[in-house]
Chains A and B, each alone.
Chain A
Amino acid sequence: MISFRSVRHGYGNNISLKFQDWTLQQGEPWLLLGNSGSGKTTLLHILTGLLKPQQGEVLVKGTNLYQLRPKELDLFRGRNIGLILQRAHLIRSLTVLENLLLAQSFAGLPTDRQLAKATLASLHMEEKINRYPHQLSQGQLQRVSIARAVLHRPALLVADEPTSSLDDKNAEAVLQLLLCQARATAATLVVATHDQRVKTSFSNQYSLPDVAV
């Protein structure tokens, strides 16, 4: 279970964003809706332990993220939270497989080549394991970053605008992939988007109100 309680954040000293409390059950797919400027990215960063809010608490699997020491938080994030960025990004100097092995090592888990290869295979990337990121297309990069995010069977899988740069067919494919991977790993999935095409696949929604400037 993941919960988000009385979280408030602002940049500088003024608190400009107040987030509604939010509770997500394990394995539930959620849609996070909000227009640009509504604090969507801020919310995602707070949810994934990247940004400490000025007030409030975030619990993932019973752990209060911002009460952990910085090093523990990094490790907790590495093990329990998978984050898929809007623009897929891999470490440039490493191959596809090495990128996944690096994720295992940073998360403090033993190196498991078989698992890494199997995860890549489930996303149909088994032929590219020894390629470098610059040799892959944007769509392929995104598959690899999904593989990296689900590799340790995280409790929480978060995708930030995963479909924004894709056409209808690919957007639908990526969405199905995310849902399928989340189901396979029993992860709670949060997809942040302003993309209307995505809405039909999700029953749970958390909407951010537009901020009046």
Chain B
Amino acid sequence: MSPFSISWKSLRANSLTSLLNVLLIAFGIGILAVLLLASSQISSKVHDNARGIDLVVGAKGSPMQLILSSVFYIDYPTGNISLQEADSLARHPLVKRAVPLALGDNIAGARIVGTDSSFINLYNLQLAQGNFWQHDFEVTVGATVAQEQHLQPGDILYGAHGLSEGAALHEEHPYRVAGILKPKGNATDHLVLTGINSIWRMHGQEEEHDYEHGEEEEHHAAEKEITALLIQYKSPGAMVLFPRLVNKSTNMQAASPAHESARLFSLIGVGIDTLQWFALFIMLMAAISVFISLYNSLKERKYDLAVMRIMGASKSKLFQIVLLEGVLLALAGSLLGLLLGHATLQLINSYQESAHTRLSGLYFMPQELYLLAAGCCVGMVAAALPAIQAYQSDISKILSKS
């Protein structure tokens, strides 16, 4: 019979106390696991979505709002900017690539993005079926949207005004699905892409143009608006000059995705820190609880330990047995905690509204093994003193007192 099975059976004999200890450890490790998994998923999502975008130019307002709406497609846009001004920025020598975005409508919650082929190149999009949009009112839909709405090329869709589900439908102009994108694992999976002109026509900007003719066209181009411009620099040096240029000499604002995501993290970081301390506090309580229960059970079991010595067990074997009890409790607690962490994230996932920011419970990290090891260390430390006591117990004294 190994020390392992002796410890296991002893824990089973005190199943309620053992359960309490396991739950305490599981709770602490669970919170730490949720924090670890969630922050890693959020930062990898941020990274994936902001890849290749050095700067976003949009209407004045909150720079974070601009980034959230134009890079992550979760907040509302800050407003519109003039197409003419945007075009002049796009032609600036420091700019390698400029991607126009026109937001405003949605299909069943998925945002319709009016843009041009530069968007395809920016995100390196590929088609799973059909084609990219070519004519007005043709759309190419993201993989997740197609899957959730059961869309096929050739299907007809109606956009709804605004960015949230259930608003008034634009029934006058149906969209036709031209193609479906391959999944990219970022926000583009959740978008419906079309030409900018479709957005303008949908909102009447181009219809005006139909009534008036010829020389008026230039004038109207000036009135055309887009929501934002995603910019990729030619050289890193532009990072210093270009934002200042936009902010000083135009009535638009420039926001850096990297800078704003860092700011976002520092804001939610306070919450993460608080939760982390809370989890560590719970782990401390768990350690104390393991210590007290082992210490108490040792008092009741000192006769058991004396009998083990009579049977030939050495002092170090008793030490092992008691230490192993702490480690087993901690191991069970930590494993349960990791399971709990993943289950919690999966639960959060099912309540999250915006589909592309969803956290997954099926996301695993090698750092979880550190959590497991840390949990076991807590158990070992808590069991150390009782184990030393078991090691030092004087059997002759225990037996003669009975």
Contacts and interface: CB of A to CB of B under 8 A. Distances in A.
Contacts of B241: none
A91 interface: yes
8 contacts: A41-B399, A50-B310, A71-B316, A75-B314, A93-B6, A93-B13, A94-B9, A98-B9
A105 interface: yes
Interface of B: 1-2, 6, 9-10, 12-13, 301, 303-304, 307-317, 395-396, 399-400, 402
Listed from nearest, the 10 A-B pairs whose CB atoms lie closest are A78-B312, A93-B13, A106-B312, A51-B396, A107-B312, A106-B311, A105-B1, A74-B314, A106-B313, A93-B10
Contacts of A71: 314, 316
B1 A98 contact: yes
A92 interface: yes
Contacts of A148: 311
Given A45-B396, A85-B399, A106-B313, 17 more contacts: A50-B399, A51-B396, A70-B315, A71-B314, A71-B316, A74-B312, A74-B313, A74-B315, A75-B312, A75-B314, A79-B312, A89-B303, A89-B307, A91-B307, A94-B9, A106-B308, A106-B317
Contacts of B10: 93
A75 B314 CA distance: 7
Nearest to B307: A89
A98 B315 CA distance: 21
Given A45-B396, A89-B303, A93-B12, A102 B311 contact: yes
A33 interface: no
B399 A45 contact: yes
Contacts of B13: 92-93
A50 to B, nearest CB: 5
Contacts of B301: 92
A77 B308 CA distance: 11
Contacts of B400: 41-42, 45
Contacts of A159: none
A170 interface: no
A87 B10 CA distance: 21
Interface in A85-143: 85-87, 89-94, 98, 101-103, 105-108, 111
Contacts of B6: 91, 93-94, 102
A78 B1 contact: no
A85 B312 contact: no
Given A41-B400, A45-B399, A111-B1, A91 B313 contact: no
B167 to A, nearest CB: 66
A83 interface: yes
Interface in A55-78: 70-71, 74-75, 77-78
A164 to B, nearest CB: 12
Nearest to A48: B310
A45 B306 CA distance: 12
